[in-house]
Amino acid sequence: MNKLKYILYIMIGLITIPSCSLDEVSYTEIEKTNYMNTPAEAETVLLGVYRKMVEEGMYRFNLSMLFTIPTDIAKVEGNSPDGLRLVPSNSYTSTQIEVQQTWSSLYSAIYDANDFLEGISGKLSGYSEREQQLAAIYMAEARTLRALYYFELVRWFGHIALIKTTQQSHANPATYTQADPVEVYEFIESDLLYAIDNLPYAMDDNFRAENSFRISKGSAMGLLTKVYATWAGSPVSDHSKWEKAANVAKTLINSGKHALMDDYEQLWKNTCNGIWDPSESLLEVSFYSPVVTGMAAFDPSGRIGKWNGVTATNIKGVRNAGNWKVIPTFLRDWNSRSQDKRWQISFADYRYGTSPAGQNGVKIPISNNATFLEAIAEDAPENIKRPFMNGLTPAKWDTEKYVDDANYLIDANLSNINWYILRYADVLLLYAEAINEAQGGPNSDAYEAVNVVRRRGFGLPINMSNTLSDLPLDLTYEEFQEAVRTERAYELAFEGHRRHDLTRWGIYYESIMETVQDIADWYSDGPQYYIPANYTKKNKHELLPIPQRDLDLMVNFKQNIGW
């Protein structure tokens, strides 16, 4: 099995429509007394918990792209908040369907995780000793998934309901109360600590017959590092968690079980073709469907590369909308580090279309009047800048460059390109950040963690010091903090992390305002294409609203500030 093939819900019993998003009937909830009698049956149900990741409200679209766009490095196409731009412009309300969709999907996924854990717990006594070891791994996978789903809920919605059992899910919505975010983080922490104790590293896994794209000890440790870093930041701001983040990351790094890939570009060749490399890929959503049926339950494919890829028409895959655009001033500032090879790999100043000679799928510059380098030159005239204000796209998921024929899904809206939720490089940068925050300044480990990421980005040997890439060794706490924050923007550009980073640093609104000023200084007509500047409000858009439908039912809930 080359990909994690998500098990379709062939064992579905009667499904009812819930009265509230927290009251879910599980797709895995069928004759539980007669199922999961063997680890093989349990694994089938577990894969159903994994499959929740490919839904539209999850990483297929909302959590990977739609909600994460409006930042200081990316924006949506166009100059109005209409239609597809409504959410990425921050101009939506608490009744927005995508907000409801994600809330419901996350709670449905948590229900399935709870249901699996309850079901397998009742079967353990009938398993052999070897089967019980395998079951412990499956339970650890489910608890990591539950932790991930709760992590998304708490950092997107803030004050949520903490549902630990399926029985709680069926309670009257009027009885639900909002948990303190600290309580949610503590629950996430307990799940991940259990997982760390019971999962093998991917490279040491002698239990699962197939572990491609499956959660491992490294996955759980990396996720816990990110959880602690978020817990330490705004809005909870428990700074004691910086030390915990550093300690977990250090254990993972010192294990030697994970490493950076030598070639940064290989990351995108891999994820565009369903190739799993567990050295750097800690959490990755596997999308795969050989054909498109038009029925979401049978199409575990995504929108990666179509919505956030290089704009294309008249290609084998019909088209790529390319609605995710890159902010040119971000690329201008990044280009000052001319040796950084990630720069050109990360964005496209071209599109695919039909040549004057009638050839389809041809790479075409987005401007016939100037190159992007000419447009960002210090003395560049304004008249050459407009195409680059609304035409640059991410290039990490360039379908025509990276996707092989064997993985090419011929559809205008869907692809088989995977999505990285967490990479080892992310953990290295979080480790450097955590040390600096916990100790009030960097040490040698912090420098080395960020420098190996930079060396790889510059195409240099990662274990050899180099003045072209390495940070100066005399940085203050503030200077190192800024260096790591900048490095996260470059290394993880357009991968869905930036908005959460800006939020936990407490500067989301300020970054939006600084960006619109940077754009105005570069191109006077540019701010009209940066729609979030007109709608983003401080102490509001750091969180999504509680969906109005659920808020009306859960009478003890209070709406998030500003909504």
- Looking at domain 423-531, which CATH architecture does it have? Alpha Horseshoe (1.25)
What's residue 295's pLDDT? 76
Total-model pTM:
0.95
Between the two ends of the chain, the Cα-to-Cα distance in Å is 46
pLDDT tens, position by position, 397-409: 999 999 999 999 9
Q: Which fold has domain 32-254+545-553?
A: 1.25.40
What residues pair up with 420 in beta bridges, in sequence order? 284
Write out the two tokens for 49.
Answer: 């918990």
Mean pLDDT per 10-residue segment, the chain (563 residues): 38 36 55 80 96 96 98 96 95 98 98 97 94 96 98 98 96 96 98 98 94 97 98 98 98 98 98 97 95 79 97 96 97 87 97 93 95 95 95 98 95 96 98 98 98 97 96 97 98 98 98 98 96 98 98 97 97
All CATH 1.25.40.900 domain ranges of the chain, comma separated, are: 423-531
- Tell me whether residue 1 is exposed, middle or buried, using C-beta atoms within 10 angstroms of its C-beta: 0 to 12, 13 to 18, 19 or more: exposed
Write out the two tokens for 25.
Answer: 């009937």
DSSP E strands in 273-338: the ranges are 281-285, 312-315, 318-320, 324-326
Radius of gyration of the chain from Cα atoms?
23
Where residue 444 falls (left for φ over 0; alpha for ψ -120 to 50; beta otherwise) is: alpha
How many Cα atoms occupy the beta-carbon half-sphere of 63 within 13 Å?
28
What's residue 32's pLDDT? 57
What's residue 475's pLDDT? 98
Main-chain phi, psi angles of 449, to 5 degrees? -60, -45
H/E segment holding residue 114: helix 97-121
Reduced DSSP (H G I as helix, E B as strand, rest coil) percent helix, strand, coil of the chain, to 5: 50, 5, 45
pLDDT tens, position by position, 170-185: 999 999 999 999 999 9
What's residue 17's pLDDT? 31
Q: Contact, 285 vs 271, CB < 8 A?
A: no
C-alpha–C-alpha distance, residues 40 and 34, integer Å: 14
C-alpha–C-alpha distance, residues 88 and 166, integer Å: 34
DSSP E strands in 127-276: the ranges are none
Q: Contact, 4 vs 99, CB < 8 A?
A: no
What's residue 26's pLDDT? 47
